[in-house]
Amino acid sequence: MSRMSAAARARYDGSLAEAGALIADGRNGEAWPLLETAHILSQPWWRLHVQTHWRMLRLAVRDRDRREITGQLMRFVVAGPGSATGRYPRGNTGRADVPATQPMPVPDDLAALLVP
């Protein structure tokens, strides 16, 4: 895929920044949906996709959530190759509570940002 659009990048960066602020404030549960948004936006770009899973892994460790840690470790390893080859489950939120290979509907607001 080509470069991420400026609008998509702004939403991606904003989601990560807002998630980081919530985590710093101890509001981890509120950060997860923002990381999920960043994940959906990052999937076509391997570096951003891996970066998002790294942040998800760090939050899972902070939460001491063994299931999420295990899921994020696996996803961290496969995210780059999946994005690089175009074999990623479009719309998947990236969390351990959904199968790593399950495509999911992309929310309309995010789908509009992902149009080339």
pLDDT digits (tens, 9 = 90+) for 12-57: 999 999 999 999 999 999 999 999 999 999 999 999 999 999 999 9
Domain count, the chain: 1
Reported as half-sphere exposure (CB side, CA atoms, 13 A), residue 14 has a value of 6
**How large a percentage of the chain has pLDDT more than 90?**
96
Domain that holds residue 27: 6-94
Query: Would 111 be classed as within a structural domain?
Result: no
Residue 106 lies in a domain: no
Q: Residue 4: which of 47, 55, 36, 60 has the closest Cα?
A: 47
Band of pLDDT at residue 115, cut at 50, 70 and 90: confident
In a domain, 51, yes or no: yes
Are 79 and 49 in contact by the 8 Å Cβ rule? The answer is yes
The yes-or-no verdict on residue 1 having pLDDT over 90 is no
88 within some domain: yes
